[in-house]
Amino acid sequence: MARTVSPENEAIRRQQIVSAAHSVFIKKDYSKVRIEDIAKQAKLSKGAVLYYFETKEDVFLALFEWLTQLVAQRFEAAVETSTDPLIQLDNVVDQAFDSVKLHRAFFRIYLDCLGQGSRKEEYARINRAFYQACHEHYRKIIENGQRKALFRDIDVTDASLVMRAIIEGLGVQWLFMGNDGDLKHYGKLAREAILRYHGLEPSELAFKSINEINSLAPLGAR
């Protein structure tokens, strides 16, 4: 019932505007997007946009926050789905490299906002929150893997940083050098790199069930 366009709720209008900004921001970069573009996309007036957000920048901050929270939530869901760390990892990686369109769209906006964030504290704050959320979920996988003695016993915080680096770093490279067909390959690369980092030989794990895997000691323990 709360999903109508009716203005009973400020949050709805704000989300309506943020979604519109999202659509527009995919095509043009920050400096080229006009409030009018967002208003038009949201089927609102310019005045309405500025009524719900103090400034244009506030719209983009809200967008950045919404988008990163969305992705973080997907990471959470990816982890919650299973108790098997290998499947959790697969899900997280899939989620990150999945859905070509969303991926490109996310990275475009993400990079733009990262650029902003490298200088403006508001953007940086949101991005830090995003990283923290990521690490919270990545950590669960790593701790789970270590608890089950599948992953080698290393510092979880460090491992999470490396995991995020591999996922994000390959994602950006795909954005610039890959094509739609490559996406799965980049995902596979990320998965393998993360597993190796944790002392597993990915080739041995392919298509194996958790039970079978459990009979394999991690590399570092062999």
Q: Which residue has the tokens 């830090």?
A: 128
State both tokens at 104.
């490109």
* Angle subtended at Cα 133 by Cα 128 and Cα 137, rounded to the nearest 5 degrees: 145
Closest approach of DNA to the CB of residue 104, in Å = 23
Kindly state the number of chain residues that form the binding site for its own copies, as judged by CB under 8 A. 47
In the list 116, 138, 140, 151, the residue contacting its own copies (rule: CB under 8 A) is: 116
State both tokens at 155.
């510092």
Q: Determine the Cα–Cα distance for residues 47 and 44; give it in Å rounded to an integer.
A: 8
| Choice between 7 and 220, CB closer to DNA | 7
Q: Is 11 in the site for DNA (CB under 7 A)?
A: no
Q: Which does 57 bind (CB under 5 to 8 A by kind): DNA, its own copies, none?
A: DNA
Q: Judge contact between 142 and 198, C-beta under 8 A.
A: yes
Q: Is 27 in the site for DNA (CB under 7 A)?
A: no
Footprint of its own copies on residues 144-163 (CB under 8 A)?
A: 158, 161-162
* 87-123: b (≥16 Cβ within 10 Å) or e: bbbbbbbebbbeebeebbbbbebbebbbebbeeeeeb
Sign of the alpha-carbon dihedral angle for 100, 102, 105, 109: negative
In the list 1, 2, 3, 31, the residue contacting its own copies (rule: CB under 8 A) is: 31
In the list 57, 58, 76, 168, the residue contacting its own copies (rule: CB under 8 A) is: 168
Footprint of DNA on residues 30-69 (CB under 7 A)?
A: 32-36, 44-48, 50-52, 54-57
Q: What are phi and psi of 22, to 5 degrees?
A: -55, -50
Which residues form the interface with DNA (CB under 7 A)? 5-7, 10, 13, 32-36, 44-48, 50-52, 54-57
Site for its own copies, rule CB under 8 A:
27-31, 107-108, 111-120, 124, 127-128, 131, 158, 161-162, 164-170, 172-173, 175-177, 186, 189-190, 193, 196-197, 199, 201, 219-220, 222
